[in-house]
Amino acid sequence: MKKNAIVGQSGGPTAVINASLYGVVYEALNREDVIGTIYGMINGIEGFLNENMMDMKPLEVNGELELIKTTPGSYLGSCRYKLPEDLTDAVYPQLFEKFEKYNIGYFFYIGGNDSMDTVSKLSRYAETVNSEIRFIGIPKTIDNDLVLTDHTPGFGSAAKYVASTVREIAIDASVYDNKKSVTIVEIMGRHAGWLTAASVLARKFEGDNPVLIYLPEVAFDQEQFLADVQKAFEHTSNLVVCISEGINDGNGKFVCELASDVGVDTFGHKMLTGSGKYLENLVKDRLGVKVRSIELNVNQRCSSAMLSATDEKEAIASGSFGVQTALKGTTGMMIAFHRTDDADYHITYAPEDVNLICNQEKTVPLDWITGNGSDIGQQFIDYALPLIQGSVKVPEEGGLPRFAYRKCNCSEPSKIS
C-alpha cells in the first residue's frame, strides 16, 4: 500500500525556505508511484498536533506551486515548538497515532537547529516503537550555523541582500563626502557572524566600505573600536561599519545589554536598544562626529529582491534530494551540502546524522577574521562569493512582486483595494 508524505516548516523564515518546500512537493508529486497524498502541516509540528494540515497537490494545478518558489516567508506557517527531551512523554504516542491515522510514511521538516532537534527526537522515538516512518530534515537558516554542511539554503540570498544593501548604503553615505561621518549597520546573527561577514563582499575597490567589520566570534572592545574608527578616518571620510547584533565582550555580555544597564525608556522599562544604536551613541559621545545606525532587520530574511539563483537552485535540490533519500529507506538524517575540491564551485548532497547536527552551532573560523578582529579575510570571500551568484526574476503584478498566499485564493493578479 502507498504511504502518504507530510512536510512542515519551522523556526524563522528565509527567502528560499519555500523553494525547499517546492523541492519536496515537486519531487513527491513525481513519485506518485510510491507516494499517496502529500500533506503540508500548518504551523509545523505544533499545528499537526491539532491536525491542522492541507493537501499540497491542488497547488500544482492552480499554478500556486510555481509561485511558492519565489515567495518569502513560510508558506505553511511556522512554529517554535520544542518536543520534550523525555521520549516517554505522552506527546510522542499522540503524534504517532496521528501519523498512523493519516497513513504517513515520509516526514520532511524544513528548518534549522531546533527543527533538526524535532527530527532527531521523532526518529529516535520511531526506533523505540519500530515505526517505519522515515524522518528527514531539510536545512534552512540565514545564520549558516549548521554543522556537517558546507552551508545552508537561505544564507546565500541573505548574504546577497546584505552585501548589495551595504554597497548601496556606502554610496548613500558618501554623497556629503566633504564632511566626516560614521554609518553603523547592524546585521542579524546572535552567535555566528556569517551574515555580517558577507558585508565584506560589498567592497568594490581597495579601501572601499565597509572599512570595519565586527563579528560575535571575537571579543568586542569599545576603546579598540573607537581607536579603529579614528584610524579609519585617515583614509575614509564617510565610514561604514558593519556589526553583528550579537557582538559581545567575550564573557557573554552583549554590547546591546550595556545600554539597558543605564537607560530607562518612557515607560520606566530598561531600554532595549540594539548594538548599533548603542555604538551610535558611543561614537557621538566620544568622537563628536556625525553618526547614524541602520538595523537591516527582517528584510535580510524576507527580501525577494536579492534572491541568489544559486541559493534558490540548491534549496530546491535539497528538498528534492530529501524525498529521494527517504524513499531509499533512510531516516534520522539531514540533507547536507558538500563542496567538491574542484576549481569550479560544485555541490553534492548527502544525508548526515541529525543527532550530530541538532543543538550544535558552527561559527566563523577565527583565522578567517583579520585586522585584529575588525576585518574579514580572503578565505571567507572565496567561500561566500559562489553562494550569491545569479539573480532570480520574481514575477510582478501591478508593479510589485507577486507572491503565493495560503490563506486566500488570491494568487491570481487582482485589483488592489
Q: Which of 294, 334, 336, 376 binds a copy of itself (CB under 8 A)?
A: 294
Whose Cβ is closer to a copy of itself: residue 77's or residue 105's?
Answer: 77
Whether residue 172 lies in the annotated active site: no
Contact call for residue 330 and a copy of itself (CB under 8 A) = no
Residue positions forming the annotated binding site: 12, 113, 141-143, 188-190, 245
Tell me the window of 95-103, 118-126, 355-363, 395-403 that interacts with a copy of itself (CB under 8 A): 395-403
Binding to a copy of itself, residues 6-65 (CB under 8 A): 9, 12-13, 43, 46-47
Binding to a copy of itself, residues 188-227 (CB under 8 A): 200-206
Using DSSP's 3-state secondary structure scheme, residue 400 falls into strand
DSSP for 181-195, written as a single string: EEEEEEES-SS--HH
Tell me the window of 53-61, 99-107, 126-134, 396-404 that interacts with a copy of itself (CB under 8 A): 396-404
Contact call for residue 295 and a copy of itself (CB under 8 A) = yes
Whose Cβ is closer to a copy of itself: residue 125's or residue 383's?
Answer: 383
Q: Residue 191 and residue 7: Cα distance in Å, rounded?
A: 29
Q: Which of 37, 70, 78, 318 binds a copy of itself (CB under 8 A)?
A: 78
Contact call for residue 275 and a copy of itself (CB under 8 A) = no
Q: Residue 400 and residue 397: Cα distance in Å, rounded?
A: 5
Phi, then psi, of 176 in degrees rounded to 5: -100, 60
Q: Residue 143 and residue 190: Cα distance in Å, rounded?
A: 9
Q: Which of 49, 54, 87, 171 binds a copy of itself (CB under 8 A)?
A: 171
Contact call for residue 343 and a copy of itself (CB under 8 A) = no
Contact call for residue 288 and a copy of itself (CB under 8 A) = no
Q: Residue 161 and residue 198: Cα distance in Å, rounded?
A: 9
Q: Which of 77, 137, 189, 210 binds a copy of itself (CB under 8 A)?
A: 77
User: How many residues of this chain interact with a copy of itself, rule: CB under 8 A?
Assistant: 85
- The bridge status of strand 369-370 relative to strand 333-339 is unpaired
Beta-bridged to residue 148, according to DSSP, are none
Contact call for residue 74 and a copy of itself (CB under 8 A) = yes
Q: Residue 119 and residue 127: Cα distance in Å, rounded?
A: 12
Whose Cβ is closer to a copy of itself: residue 169's or residue 327's?
Answer: 169
Whose Cβ is closer to a copy of itself: residue 71's or residue 320's?
Answer: 71
Whose Cβ is closer to a copy of itself: residue 359's or residue 378's?
Answer: 378
Binding to a copy of itself, residues 80-109 (CB under 8 A): 80
List Cα–Cα distances, 363 to 127, 177, 217, 223, in angstroms: 32, 36, 7, 25
Q: Which of 305, 349, 350, 370 binds a copy of itself (CB under 8 A)?
A: 305
Among left, alpha and beta (phi > 0; psi -120 to 50; other), residue 250 is left
Residue 242-261 contact track with a copy of itself, rule CB under 8 A, x = bound: ----------------xx-x
Binding to a copy of itself, residues 141-170 (CB under 8 A): 160, 163-165, 167-169
* Per-residue buried b or exposed e for 79-111, using 16+ beta carbons within 10 Å of the residue's own CB: bebebeeeeeeebbeebbebbeebebbbbbbbb
List Cα–Cα distances, 222 to 143, 189, 219, 232, 308, in angstroms: 25, 19, 10, 15, 35
Angle, CA 151 vertex, CA 150 and CA 154 arms, to 5°: 165
Contact call for residue 263 and a copy of itself (CB under 8 A) = yes
For the chain, the distance separating the N- and C-terminal CA atoms, rounded to the nearest angstrom, is: 48
Q: How many CB atoms lie within 10 A of CB 359?
A: 12
CB of 279 to a copy of itself, least distance (A): 11
Tell me the window of 85-93, 295-303, 345-353, 366-374 that interacts with a copy of itself (CB under 8 A): 295-303
Binding to a copy of itself, residues 351-380 (CB under 8 A): 378
Catalytic residue among 86, 89, 117, 143: 143
Contact call for residue 302 and a copy of itself (CB under 8 A) = yes
List Cα–Cα distances, 381 to 8, 284, 325, in angstroms: 33, 32, 32
Whose Cβ is closer to a copy of itself: residue 90's or residue 408's?
Answer: 408
CB of 35 to a copy of itself, least distance (A): 26
Beta-bridged to residue 35, according to DSSP, are 3
Q: How many CB atoms lie within 10 A of CB 196?
A: 31
Contact call for residue 405 and a copy of itself (CB under 8 A) = yes
Best CA proximity match to 187, nearest among 196, 178, 177: 196
Active site residues: 143
